Structure 1
């Protein structure tokens, strides 16, 4: 979680960690939105938007960068190498706690099973992880899921040995028999479940609403370039409409980007609930249930502090901006 990496690493992120493509035509202001995303079913629609020219149709120029390492995308936004990124509420709160000024303008999805704690044969419950070694990318949402699952089972992180690895490497280490379990998100869950006898002992479906995923902007960019922000939000919903009308073609695009087969990609459908416009409006509405983002933010912030993943609770004022979702034409 801790968002402070070496300055040298931040300088080379966009060339060393991702691949970038820009839309063909600039908007009238000449402003380009530097948008990052990484391997998650709720974010692959951005690739569809790119390939189908939907950014350009909405009059916005986007420099779309795919990150092989999710944590590198978080760092890129926090250090000013991106204007916007697709990331979880957990990780956004961690960045804000560290001093980053960020604004959430859109809910992409909720994880409803595609984040998993996967264990080898002979380990049937989370309680069975006591004394075992678990590979997980520290500070990411699957680390958070692991802590939630351990707490529910009456354990703590001190009851296991955490092997910190990037998610793709963690899944590979698990398959190679180097660890007893792994915390991973799709599509890396497919890799991990390739180990004979392996099974998910906990998933995000066990913690409804705990892992929402968002389009997050640098707060200053939102203030200075609201038209570009609106165009990106509009593009998202246009993309969902295109996917609904061209499902097989869309799956082919997203599966290719994820490095999995079309058949495997289809299995992720139930585990990632893409939010409609109406669900976005409801999520941004203040409330006291798991469906309300402000409630989730308070709950996650408390957990992050209690688990000593951050030093102090992040400020929530100005974190959620429903302006752009509200302006989308139904």
Structure 2
């Protein structure tokens, strides 16, 4: 999300990446040292990740794991930062995270990671809001309150780029996600960049104008299920079970299954209407064929190059990183960065296998 936007108003999911980078100091332990049949993956609350709550509660994960004679524990971790810490340290075999976090946290820490499932992208969940103007160009010279080094920061950079400006043309002010709604009501606040539900709350305030959203950079803020690459290679049944369970629920969501959606909403601490509002700004890849097309397209490589450049410019790939390509990123359409240090991979084979089996 890039750290993620939660549904609840008490957001923990978009902590500053300067804080998230603490995860890279966690010692990396082997994920598996002997034959295994028990695995664990974790997730945190966000609209696009609530299917994991339903998968767990309804026994769908158990069904698919049994098919491959394994056991998979699906664990909710309330703190997004901690969920990535648990994965990076080897305590979890997989974890939900964004494409930017997958690069700057486990991959940059040396944990070879595979984007197994590309679940969705932000399609309006994130936005830039100006006070007293509906023209993005008027952001020039203003202070912009946001969570620095987060998806909000990335969105701001992309928005500025779209009108020929850069971060040098504004002054970013690091602000807690929990405070940003209140800050906008302050007379001194000129602009903010944030995510839902804070974005929706601010948009309803006087003189608030949403001038740029993630809908204008479709496919760039990706939400993933990331799995340890070595574990996936050693135990491909883990990948097949996770993908199978995921797309079983995607089929329910594609058909607007009210019972399933209501249960996901309740698990997220909201109601059906509130959850559907979140989903309206989330492009969910309910069709595995569409997800496969994305993974195999050059768009993912282009996006990850942008994310890597942003991450390097802001020091998120480590103090000693010589360039944006210090961590290799492998996609079906090519590899960006150091091919001798590939630590993040987009693998379409498990989604393809699911499609072929249908």
User: What TM-score, normalized by structure 1, do the two folds share?
Assistant: 0.80
Aligned to 1:315: 328
Question: Hey, what does 1:20 align to over in structure 2?
Answer: none
Q: Which structure 2 residues correspond to residues 25-174 of structure 1 after superposition, within 5 A?
A: 30-39=37-46, 41-59=47-65, 60-68=71-79, 70-95=80-105, 96-120=107-131, 122-174=132-184
Q: 1:238 to 1:256 in 2, by over 3 A?
A: same
Cα 1:219–1:164 shift into 2, 3 Å? farther
Task: Give ranges in structure 1 of 5+ residues lacking alignment.
Answer: 12-27
Deviation at 1:108, TM superposition (A): 0.1
Q: CA 1:169–1:52 in structure 2 vs 1: closer, same or farther (change >3 Å)?
A: farther
Question: Unaligned stretches of 5+ in structure 2?
Answer: 1-16, 28-34, 66-70, 331-341
Distance 1:220 1:137, change over 3 A: farther
Answer yes or no: is the 8 Å Cα contact 1:112–1:205 preserved in 2: yes
| Alignment partners' CA distance in 1, 2:64 and 2:275 | 28
Query: In 2, are the aligned partners of 1:38 and 1:86 still within 8 Å (CA)?
Result: no
TM (norm. structure 2) is 0.74
Aligned 8 A contact 1:48 1:250 in 2: yes
Aligned to 2:31: none
CA distance in 1, matches of 2:246, 2:172: 37
Q: CA separation of 1:146/1:81 partners in 2, compared to 1, >3 Å: closer, same or farther?
A: farther
8 Å contact from structure 2 (residues 23, 88) kept in 1: no
Call closer, same or farther: CA 1:156–1:73 in 2, change over 3 Å. farther
Distance apart, 1:148 and its partner CA = 0.8
| Displacement after TM superposition at 1:143 (Å) | 1.6
Aligned to 2:230: 220
User: C-alpha root-mean-square deviation of aligned residues, in Å?
Assistant: 3.0
- Does the Cα contact within 8 Å between 1:117 and 1:181 map onto a contact in 2? yes
Q: How many aligned residue pairs are there?
A: 306
Question: Which 4+ residue blocks in structure 1 deviate beyond 6 angstroms?
Answer: none
- Indicate conservation of the 8 Å contact 2:41/2:75, yes or no: yes
1:301 to 308, 312, 318: 308
C-alpha separation in 2, matches of 1:7 and 1:106: 23
CA contact (8 A) 2:145 2:174 kept: yes
1:208 maps onto 2:221 in alignment: no
Relative distance call for 1:173 and 1:48 in structure 2 (3 A) is farther
In the alignment, is the contact (CA less than 8 A) between 2:144 and 2:190 conserved in 1?
yes
CA contact (8 A) 2:292 2:352 kept: yes
After superposition, the C-alpha distances for 1:44-96 in whole angstroms (9 at most, x for unaligned) are 2212212222111212422322334x344333333334322222222222232
Cα gap change, 1:107 to 1:228, in 2 (>3 Å): same
Report the 3-state secondary structure (helix = DSSP H, G, I; strand = E; otherwise coil) of the residue aligned with 1:146. Answer: helix
The answer to whether the 8 Å contact 2:56/2:74 transfers is: no
Aligned equivalents of 1:260 and 1:180: distance in 2? 30
